Amino acid sequence: MSKPPTIHIYTLSRLVHAPAAGWEKLIDQIEAGRRKAYAYYLPMREAVVLFCAGGGKDFEKILSAMKRRAEEMGGMRGPRVAADNESAFRTFVEKFYPKISRFKRSLLRDTQNGVTLEGVALLGAPHFVAVDQNGETRYIFLYPAKWKPNELKNYLHLLATIVEKRYGGVSEQVWCMNLRMGKTVKFKRSARLSSRCSDAAKHYARLAGLI
């Protein structure tokens, strides 16, 4: 029996409201954008996890190392990449870290086999797991970018699917931290969006079977 095709939640989230015609070209564009987006804020995500795992110690040391790495990775845009990573990291430390009572584990390098959704293996994961001030386990997504509202809703819906099916959590445990605004992004699952995500997954499975 052949393995189901894989797709990352970033890619599928951007296909949910896209016209089915022309998906092949669009997928290539989205995947290229996903790789760039992943790399751009990787130093910040790693710094956040390191800071939390260390109990909130060594801020300046972690910040300095993060900025060096971001600048090296950014090439010609190094100073801008470093500045954006620094801004996001500082926002996390100032606005969100005080709301975390305990760090549980990093998911940045969690092995991914995919979660089955309508014939596809859905890839992706939160960035880390922690316990909030109320003693609740939370699956944290660090969001420093500026996506379209529908794209973010789609992403969080698919992320919640992974949290439920892979980690045994519930959608209410997803904690999306907006590192541009310093606020939590509120989100609720809906039957309508669930249907649209399922339809997109089905279409991708059909398309992958023809390639």
Residue 203 and residue 20 in contact, taking contact as beta carbons nearer than 8 Å = yes
The whole-number pLDDT of residue 1 equals 52
| Regions of the chain with pLDDT less than 70 | 1-2, 209-211
The whole-number pLDDT of residue 23 equals 82
The residue assigned the tokens 């801008």 is 80
Q: CA 124 to CA 133: how far, in whole Å? A: 26
Which among 124, 114, 116, 65 has a CA at the least distance from the CA of 89? 65
Going by DSSP bridges, is the β-strand pair 128-132/100-106 parallel, antiparallel, or unpaired?
antiparallel
Which among 43, 44, 45, 18 has a CA at the least distance from the CA of 29? 18
The structure's pTM equals 0.92
Q: CA 112 to CA 128: how far, in whole Å? A: 14
Q: CA 42 to CA 73: how far, in whole Å? A: 10
- Domain boundaries, given as residue ranges, for the chain: 6-210
Q: What is the pLDDT of residues 66-119, one digit of tens each?
A: 999 999 988 888 899 999 999 999 999 999 999 999 999 999 988 777 899 999
Which among 3, 69, 76, 16 has a CA at the least distance from the CA of 41? 69
Q: Which two tokens stand for residue 199?
A: 């339809």
